[in-house]
Amino acid sequence: MTDTAQTSQARAQGGVTLSAALPWIIAGLFLLVMPFIFQSNSAITIMNQMAITIIFALSYNMLLGQGGMLSFGHAVYMGVGGFLCVHIMNWEIFGSLPLPILPIFGGIFGLILALIVGSFSTRKAGTVFAMISLGVGELIAACSVIIVVFFGGEEGISGDRTYGLPFFGIEFLTQIEVYYLIAFWLLVSALLMYLFSRTPIGRMANAVRDNPERAEFLGYSARWVRFYSFIAAGFFAGIAGGLFAINYEILTEENLNLHTSGSILLVTFLGGVGFFFGPIIGAIVFTLLQTVLSLETELWALYVGALFVATVMFFPGGLSGVLMMHGTPIKLGKWRMLVKPYIKVLVPAVLCILGLAGFIELMFHARHAAIGESEMTLFWTTFDHSNPMPWIVFAVLALGGFWLARKGSPELTGAWHEANTPDEVSE
């Protein structure tokens, strides 16, 4: 009794402990040094996009992961926040407004819209909520061509961030200055969203997600709990929108539509909804795939789609879930026994995927390339698609890799089981 009481006291008093603050300090330092490691302009552009997507995905996960609300229209809260910020950039008053505080206005606007929509959409979770979010999302996306004053019709609305009041002499002319602005907001928003999940309302959001009826019999209205999560998510989506406005200086219908709402669901699910850092991983991986892979191949969306389907089917916990699965073997000190079987399965599996991708690319090129253009470059080699050799190589890679991976998988399953079972002696 005294033992547990003491630990709980220590837990309750401690203030901000080092172990709790450490991940955030590391994240801050990491954001600080990243531009020194990746100095090219295109790398900074990708990182800006990544950071905005991270905030958006974390905000989305407040609904999906924390609150159990599947939304098909979360883009609109980011979108309207962004549109408002571009409008502010075009107003006279912008000259006396430092740019770094602009995202707050986006946040507030996102919150107000969420307040209105949430007042009727959070009554129920599940299918009802999903359908309302879809309807509202489509409705507002349709408004972009109707309310031209605000949404600017098909061209959208553009502005110029450099008209703002210089912030300690910084006018945000370069990408790197914008990077640090976005990185600052990323850290602040992520920290606030994390802290939100530790508050009474954040804890009850999990409770309502798991069992709304039980929560009602504990004195909480499931609807109000959902509503508060919803408007908080709207606020942070609006912040992401404001940052988008600063980074790209233009917003269009694309920022509101179903496609954007759908891809943030994909990003969040890919990273995993079960852990706070899941959407962060999802946003990083997705942005990399989207930017880097799309430079390499026209078919990138096909691969991303396949990855998403594979995640849903085989790893419903997402990438973060896969990472956290290794907690037990590491705690038991048995992770080393996984290394060899992993190599035996993953190397052939990667070869199989590359072979398959190569085969698809060959086929695509053979079918769709301009007539007479039979040369193509894939995996840093140039070859002719009319030559049977590359076809054979990719087929062998795909089939051989598959066969080897299948052959190695029972060993991996066995090792996995073994690594997750504590030794009898230690019990």
Partner 1 sequence: MTTALEITNLRKSFGQTEIIRGVNLEIKDDERHAVIGPNGAGKSTLFNLITGRFPQTAGVIQLHGKDLSGKAPYEINRMGLSRSFQITNIFPKMTVFENVRCSLLWSLGYKYSFWNMVSKSRALNEGAEAILEQINLTARRDLPAGLLSYAEQRALEIGITIAGGADVILLDEPTAGMSHSETDYIVELIRKVTVGKTLVMVEHDMGVVFGLADKISVLVYGEIIATGAPEEVRANPRVQEAYLGEAMEAGH
Residues near partner 1 (CB under 8 A) are 1, 4-5, 8-9, 11-13, 195-196, 198-204, 206-207, 210-211, 213-222, 224-225, 228, 232
**Helix pair 41-61, 258-271: axis angle to 10 deg:** 90
Closest contact distance (angstroms) between CB of 206 and partner 1 is: 6
3 state SS of 318:
helix
- At closest approach, how far in Å is the CB of 11 from partner 1? 6
Give the nearer residue to partner 1 in terms of CB position, either 11 or 367: 11
The first and second tokens of residue 342, run together, are 């992993």
Q: Which is nearer to partner 1, 202 or 390 (CB)?
A: 202
Q: Residue 216 Cβ, how far from partner 1 at the closest point, in Å?
A: 4
Task: Give the shortest CB-215-to-partner 1 separation in angstroms.
Answer: 8
CB of 12 to partner 1, least distance (A): 4
Main-chain phi, psi angles of 378, to 5 degrees: -145, 140
Residue matched to tokens 């571009």: 86
Minimum Å gap between C-beta 202 and partner 1 is 7
Identity of the residue, 199 or 294, whose beta carbon is nearer to partner 1 in the bound complex: 199
* C-beta of 12 vs 370, nearer to partner 1: 12
Q: H-helix or E-strand containing 5?
A: helix 2-13
Q: What tokens were used for 334?
A: 């048995």
124: CB partners within 8 A, 6+ apart: none
Smallest gap, in angstroms, from Cβ of residue 62 to partner 1? Answer: 12
- Looking at beta carbons only, is 8 or 39 nearer to partner 1? 8
The torsion angles phi and psi of 170, rounded to 5 degrees, stand at -90, 130
- The residue (of 170 and 192) whose beta carbon lies closer to partner 1 is 192
- Helix/strand/coil for 218: coil
Query: How far is the C-alpha of 202 from the C-alpha of 276, rounded, in Å?
Result: 12
Nearer to partner 1 by Cβ, of 196 and 248: the residue is 196
Taking the complex as a whole, the smallest distance from the CB of residue 18 to partner 1 amounts, in Å, to: 15
Q: How far apart are CA 240 and CA 260, in angstroms?
A: 13
CB of 6 to partner 1, least distance (A): 10
DSSP tag of 158 = E
Q: Where are the alpha helices (DSSP H) in 2-101?
A: 2-13, 18-37, 41-61, 75-90
Q: Measured between alpha carbons, how far is 119 from 383 in angstroms, rounded to an integer?
A: 60
Q: Which is nearer to partner 1, 25 or 195 (CB)?
A: 195
Give CA torsion, residues 197, 202, 203, 205, to 10 deg.
-120
- Minimum CB–partner distance for residue 420 and partner 1 (Å): 14
The three-state secondary structure class of 316 is coil
Q: Which is nearer to partner 1, 76 or 114 (CB)?
A: 114
Per-residue b or e along 356-372, where b marks 16 or more CB atoms closer than 10 Å to that residue's CB: bbbbbbbebbeeeeeee
Residue closer to partner 1 by CB (options 16, 370) is 16
Residue 285: how many other CB atoms lie within 10 Å: 18
CB-based burial label for 71 (10 Å; 0-12, 13-18, 19+) = buried
Tell the burial category of 262 from Cβ atoms under 10 Å away from its Cβ (0-12, 13-18, 19+).
middle
Instruction: Give the C-alpha separation, 264 to 112, whole Å.
Output: 21
